[in-house]
Amino acid sequence: MSAREHGNDPLPPEVVRSLRCSVCGDPVGAADRTVRCGRGHSFDVAKQGYVNLLHARIPAGTADTAPMVAARVDLLSSGAYRPLADALAKVASEHVENGLIIDAGAGTGYYLARVLDAVPAACGLALDVSAVALRRAARAHARAGAAVWNLWEPWPVASSSASLILNVFAPRNAPQFHRVLTADGLLVVATPNPGHLRELGDLVISVDGGKDARLEETLGERFSRVDRLDVTQRVTLSPAQVRQVVEMGPSAHHLHREGRRERLDAITGPVDVTTSFSVTLYRPVP
């Protein structure tokens, strides 16, 4: 994995060409650590290399916090979810030769970086509402740029500009997926299966059996499913990794309930768990 080294032009030119001003929708350019459109709307590029295109506050509890991001970095660095990253990289290498790959809800950029390694002629754009997470994503790969954005809003990205959109455990904005993908582009959605981390009980938020139906309902009008892969394995987690799994996701917000924090802290030995994901491939419907 090739990390990005930031200079005077921290965003890859290919990524800048795909961006649009989040105020007026015009194309933008980048110079002197500023992204600016022709009408003078400008957005500073942070020292960590990402650009914040938001111009409104987001609701509290929407973005990942620093502790959540730290837990995720540690857990992903351990390789516990590497089979999922490998599956996404394999799909990308089989279906994409070049162009722009957008990771919608990229977090720290872990999956995007693995995919870019598998597609050497592509560049990547990490979109996420968490500036804390994008500090990591902006440096995750030399061919990736990162922009803070609320995925539920119309994206500041040119229409028909992406050859591949990744969506890993993140909000699914079907109209924007469809608008931003090229006509022959690919949408790859990764979701947890109902048995994911079942051994941890209510320490993690369970996945109900209606997930697939909801996914099809969300995407069905604009996309046609072309394939689906299951990625399931048994993993032995240390007590520290169990805490990371719980604290890196939405379950972290519920640890104060019903003695969950105490039960989590009481885990002192390794725990065998099941990690189980679905990777579903979609093509846009004309």
Binding residues, by number, are 37, 41, 81, 108-109, 196
- The residue among 30, 2, 194, 286 whose CA lies nearest residue 116 is 2
Instruction: Please give the DSSP secondary-structure letter assigned to residue 203.
Output: G
* Distance from C-alpha of 259 to C-alpha of 196, rounded to nearest angstrom: 22
* Distance from C-alpha of 188 to C-alpha of 165, rounded to nearest angstrom: 6
Asked whether the beta carbons of 137 and 112 are under 8 A apart, the reply is yes
* Distance from C-alpha of 33 to C-alpha of 125, rounded to nearest angstrom: 17
Asked whether the beta carbons of 267 and 255 are under 8 A apart, the reply is no
Amino acid at 120: P
Distances (CA, A) of 138 to 65, 159, 162, 260: 17, 23, 18, 34
* Distance from C-alpha of 25 to C-alpha of 126, rounded to nearest angstrom: 19
Binding residues for Zn(2+): 37, 41
Binding residues for S-adenosyl-L-methionine: 81, 108-109, 196
Distance of alpha carbon 250 from its chain centroid, rounded? 15
* Distance from C-alpha of 140 to C-alpha of 125, rounded to nearest angstrom: 11
The CA-based angle 127-133-138, given to 5 degrees, is 65
